[in-house]
Amino acid sequence: MNKKAGTAKYKVVIVTLIKIIVAVIMFSPIIWIISGGFKTLTEFTTSTDIIPKKPTLENYIYVFKYSNFFKYFRNTVLLMLGTGVGTLISSSLVAYPLARMDFPGKNMFFALIIATMMVPGIALIVPQYIMFGKFGWLDSLLPMIVPAFFAHPYNVFLFRQFFRSIPKELDEAAIMDGCSHMGVFFRVLAPLSKPTYATIAILSSVFWWNELTQPVFYINGDKWRTLTIALMTSFMYIKGNTFVINWPTIMAASTLMIIPPMLLYFFGSSYLVEGIKTSGLKG
Amino acid sequence: MKEKGRKNRHLANNLTAYGFMLPWFIGFICFTAFPVIFMFFVSLTNRRLNGISQFIGFTNYKNIFASSTFRNSFKVTIFFTIVMMIVTAVWALLMAFLLNYKQRLNGIFQFFYFIPSVIPSVALAYAFRTMFGKDAGLFNALLSSISGSNVRINWLYNERTVYPVIFFITLFTYNTGQMMLIFRSGLNDVPVDLYEAADIDGAGFWTKFGRITLPMISPVILFNTVTGSISALNGSFALLYPLTGDTGDPNKMTQVLSLLIYNEAFSNYKVGYGCALSVILFLLACVFGIALFGISKKYVYYEN
């Protein structure tokens, strides 16, 4: 008995140790980014100390004063809001009949939605680039915001899974009372699905805040540049010198860019677990 | 009369359903089906970035299959996708396992494990470019202090070190965090009484893992490997473009198809050729999807 308790304790120590090592590994790039933002260029390129010898704010001053940081920030927020609102409305509407109604072609459409989930967006980006060019949408946020209003397959899938977990008796009762399907959706299912709406809002916001690929293809000029492209262009070089990469400025801008998703996760994590848990993969 | 009423109600019901689905119909036709067909047509032309184009039949495809750059890129893509899928899935499962070991402060651990996956890949890429840099790189400094000698390896530009370093970096991507969350809920759904029964039979950790955990979470593993391979095809651009550039340094060793497409269409202005490459990437994704589902039919255990 005693020996067993001893091995159990031993196991706890080992597991905790592994947990801490993994945590240090996972957090190391973030520490590196934050520390780098407070170093001078000379210190950044000569020393690997985590705590800067002479902490400086010059990189933050550069980002705020000498770059269009606030414009890039505004563009990124507009992108997040536009795509988020679009996908929440359209994806949940599309998921409703797939979860709750019977109609011809239902299984085929659901299979098609799953199939389109598997198409990597990057494979279609060149034809879409030509198409959006014809619409005159290049160099704007429209190529990313407009498609969001026409349902995103992965989000449709998550909504459908969650709707199915809500007892069907609830909407059958509402229909008995003379509620239309629109009524069932807006008064019964949508209010009960707040965790899923919150989950998808968080996942979508984080995705678009971080998205680099589509802005790289669609946006060329400075006017609609997002923060991710700005990191590769505007913050990258010292004024008038395109040969030396200004690493500390990149790190300072990166520090500012990692704060919003961290806050979103921090305040939304309870929703995240709830929203994904109930969207289990059975059935 | 009654029959007709029921028919009408049936029709109204179907129309309501299609009405709800209208956004998807439009989106599917405009942003998926049309681009796929259009892509194939453009791939038969020599379209340039400025829009000038001429029909040239299958010349693009002939050139592609004759090109050593393409053959390299195709190999790199398959290698990269498969290894990244395995590495990130194993790491995500490990983290989920550690977190499912209930302890105080678990919330803080989950925060540390998940947070790198929600930060911009470009910020991550630049952090690692400097951490694995030759001068004043954290990794060289660590090795130097352990070995006592002055280690100066340019990890990302060295042909022997670039792959391990890049696969290490993929552990920090969005995809890994997503997989970890899904694995966690999968592990939580495994009935506890199965483990209790195994404990009574005196089963060890690995027996329980192989005989209970793995079969029970196999649908979750399938889901994660399918989405993982798609995001490896899709997400490698956002990681590799700021990390090694569209030329895929060193020596094209990291030039996956998405980087090659960007390079041909936007640096060399060959949009028609880029579309032909996109068709191949599209077909490759289909093969991956079908293969994974084929494999799953054989091995995946479904409860219902």
Count of other CB atoms within 10 angstroms of residue B236: 28
pLDDT of residue A119: 86
* B126-185 residues touching A, CB cutoff 8 A: 126-128, 130-131, 135-138, 140-141, 171-172, 174, 181-182, 184-185
User: What's the pLDDT tens digit per position in B183-193?
Assistant: 988 898 888 88
Tell if the CB–CB gap between B136 and A45 is shorter than 8 Å. yes
Q: Looking at beta carbons, which residues of chain B come within 8 Å of A109?
A: 21, 24
Contact at 8 Å (CB) between B60 and B272? yes
The closest of B60, B290, B12 to A118, measured between CA atoms, is: B290
Question: Quick one: closest CA in B to A258, which residue?
Answer: B119
* B185-244 residues touching A, CB cutoff 8 A: 185-186, 188-189, 219-220, 223, 226-227, 230-231, 233-234, 237-238, 241-242
The overall average pLDDT reported for chain B is 90
Question: If residue A237 lies in a helix (H) or strand (E), which one and from where to where?
Answer: strand A237-238
Spans of chain B, pLDDT less than 70: 1-3, 298-304
Domains of chain B (ranges plus CATH)?
76-257+277-299 (1.10.3720.10)
Contact at 8 Å (CB) between A34 and A255? yes
- Any chain A CB within 8 A of the CB of B74? no
pTM to 2 decimal places: 0.90
Q: ipTM of this predicted complex?
A: 0.88
The SS3 call for residue B51 is coil
pLDDT of residue A9: 83
Q: Looking at beta carbons, which residues of chain B come within 8 Å of A16?
A: 103
Query: Ramachandran region of residue B134, left (φ > 0), alpha (ψ -120 to 50) or beta?
Result: alpha
pLDDT of residue A240: 65
pLDDT of residue B300: 66
Question: Quick one: closest CA in B to A13, which residue?
Answer: B103
Nearest Cα of chain A lies from the Cα of B160 at a distance, in angstroms, of: 22
Per-residue pLDDT tens digits of chain A, which is 283 residues long: 455 566 778 888 999 999 999 999 999 999 999 999 999 999 998 888 889 998 999 999 999 998 899 999 999 999 999 999 999 999 999 999 999 999 999 999 999 998 888 888 899 999 999 999 999 999 999 999 999 999 999 899 889 988 988 888 888 888 888 888 888 899 889 999 888 899 899 889 989 999 999 999 999 989 999 999 999 988 877 766 667 889 999 999 999 999 999 898 888 877 766 666 544 444 3
Nearest Cα of chain A lies from the Cα of B159 at a distance, in angstroms, of: 23
Tell if the CB–CB gap between B119 and A261 is shorter than 8 Å. yes
Give the closest of A44, A109, A210 to B121, CB-based: A210
Contact at 8 Å (CB) between B129 and B46? no
Tell if the CB–CB gap between B131 and A32 is shorter than 8 Å. yes
pLDDT of residue A5: 63
The Cα A109–Cα B122 span in angstroms is 36
Q: Looking at beta carbons, which residues of chain B come within 8 Å of A272?
A: 181
Question: Quick one: closest CA in A to B177, which residue?
Answer: A26
Domains of chain A (ranges plus CATH)?
2-58 (no CATH), 66-278 (1.10.3720.10)
The closest of B284, B285, B275, B282 to B40, measured between CA atoms, is: B275
The closest of A158, A181, A184, A180 to A170, measured between CA atoms, is: A184
